[in-house]
Chains A and B, each alone.
Chain A
Amino acid sequence: MDLNALVFSFFNLEIAWEYLPDILKGMVVTIELGLVVAITGLVFGMALAVLRALQVRPLNFFIICFADIMRALPPLVVIMMLFFAFPYIQISMSAFTATWLALSLVLAAFVEEICWAGIVSVPKGQSEAARSTGLSWLQSMLYVVLPQAVRLTVAPLTNRVIAITKSTALGSVVGLSEVLNNSQSAMSNSGNATPLMLGAIGCLLIFIPVVLLGRWTETRFRWKQ
């Protein structure tokens, strides 16, 4: 295989220029989806962890089941359930909604577990002391327990959020026009692998900063054993 063929197939400037707008559009969708998934998943997961701290038995049972199921199921299976199976019971959603909802639920389950582990790791004496000074349950949670729990959870939370935002590529399987899907269709249209190369570079441009951010938080908030 000669070098010219390689350049022609993978670094073809003409084709790159033609399909660049498609790839960029896909990148925007990937970034948007990643952001909304991260926000919904974090908020929902943290809310579940705080609810679990209320120690209401039937409620806890549901939260634990939810967290276990969503951590055990492959995200692609959840996406396929929402997109291909739910329409049969008259619940249809767009590829974006299905991917967003599936990934948010999966992220929420992991966030709940991490935050719960963080809350549990704060010694009971802390919340008892807070309550005995006259703080309400919610106040002791917000001002005493959570701030101590957060430090412990920053690194695993960041890693999980990164892993889930990378899963936005799974949306391509249900036809969401994110960066992978757009570069794949551009590849079949042009009969050339350059768009695929562009897509991979696009992903790196989006996710390398995210990975570096993860590395930084890992050293900044190291777990104290």
Chain B
Amino acid sequence: MDEIFKNFFNFPIYIEVAPYLLKGLLNTLLLSALVIPFGLAAGLLVGVLSITLKNRWARALLAIYIDVFRALPPLVLLIFIYYGTPFLGWELPKLLAVVIGFMLNNSSYYGEIFRAGLESVPNGQIEAARSTGLSATQTLIHIQIPQATRNVMPDLISNTIEVIKLTTLASAVAMPELLRVARDAQSLFYNPSPIVLAAIFYLLLLWPLVRLLSRFEHKKMGGGH
């Protein structure tokens, strides 16, 4: 028991590393605040394209794009971008590599969610909107996208939680986000308490979202309990 307290819940170490870890947490939040909007925007574009494109070849290309980035593990994508681009003569800053990697990965995930949402909007809505004189673009912006977003809200929240969790991958390219800082602190103190503290921070950050999602999902499944 003493062992566990000394190594996992060492309060003197917690207090010493807290400022660093809080800085790491701030970086995690900033990184999330950067990659989530980009991912959502790119995903919305992919979603809209996949319901509007009529050309066979364009559709096929889009399908390949979506499946390739759904199949590539995000860490592989990130490592490929970060360590591969220097061979092309470009030295990408870490942040840019992470943002590009996340955007490619997220565009296909959010894109599939938005596509499902847009498909769920009944045709009558679109026809009614058009017959009141709205243009196709106006219908898309004012009628289809808002309804689609509402219909797939649980999936959007779920994917957003996954994106926040994925920011830990940035530690693999030595970005000083929460997990990386905790790992560095662990080697500095020769004690794993910082990792446990980081895990606690992640729980505090994500547990409320997970609860919220559970509520949504049970409603969607039509559960009465």
Contacts and interface: CB of A to CB of B under 8 A. Distances in A.
A10 B80 CA distance: 11
Contacts of B206: 72-73
Interface in A200-218: 200, 203-204, 207-208, 210-212
Determine the main DSSP class of B at the interface with A.
helix
Contacts of B210: 68, 71-72
A58 B168 CA distance: 33
A74 B202 contact: yes
A117 B213 CA distance: 12
B134 interface: no
B223 A121 contact: yes
A17 interface: no
A30 B108 CA distance: 23
A68 B211 contact: yes
Contact of B179 (A76, A166, A180): A76
A34 B73 CA distance: 12
B16 interface: no
A85 B8 contact: yes
A117 B179 contact: no
Interface stretch (A35-43, A130-138, A191-199): A191-199
B171 A212 contact: no
Of A163, A200, A204, the most chain B CB neighbours within 10 A belong to: A200
Contact of A120 (B68, B77, B166, B218): B218
B213 to A, nearest CB: 8
A200 B70 CA distance: 13
Contact of A196 (B84, B167, B207): B84
Grouping DSSP codes into helix (H, G, I), strand (E, B) and loop, the A interface class, with mixed when no group exceeds half, is helix
Contacts of A200: 72, 76-77, 80
Given A1-B89, A85-B8, A169-B76, A163 B221 contact: no
Given A85-B192, A169-B76, A196-B84, A77 B7 contact: no
B217 to A, nearest CB: 6
A30 to B, nearest CB: 9
Interface string A156-192: 0000000100111110110000011000100100001
B72 A117 contact: no
Given A88-B192, A117-B217, A77 B72 contact: no
Contact of A9 (B72, B87, B191, B214): B87
A152 B198 contact: no
B61 interface: no
B126 interface: no
B88 interface: yes
Q: Which size bracket describes the interface of A in this complex?
A: 35 or more
A203 B71 contact: yes
B180 to A, nearest CB: 10
Given A118-B221, A193-B84, A203 B73 contact: yes
A73 B87 CA distance: 35
A87 to B, nearest CB: 8
A75 interface: yes
Nearest to B187: A84
A207 to B, nearest CB: 4
A163 B195 contact: no
A80 interface: yes
Interface string B1-44: 00110011000000000000000000000000000000000000
B183 A193 contact: no
B89 A208 contact: no
A75 B222 CA distance: 29
Given A88-B192, A203-B76, A77 B199 contact: yes
11 contacts: A68-B207, A73-B199, A84-B192, A85-B7, A89-B4, A168-B73, A169-B75, A199-B80, A200-B72, A200-B77, A203-B72
Given A84-B183, A204-B72, 13 more contacts: A73-B199, A74-B165, A81-B196, A81-B199, A84-B192, A85-B196, A89-B7, A89-B8, A120-B224, A169-B75, A172-B75, A184-B79, A210-B71
Across the A-B interface, the 5 shortest Cβ-Cβ residue pairs = A85-B192, A74-B165, A207-B71, A120-B223, A169-B73
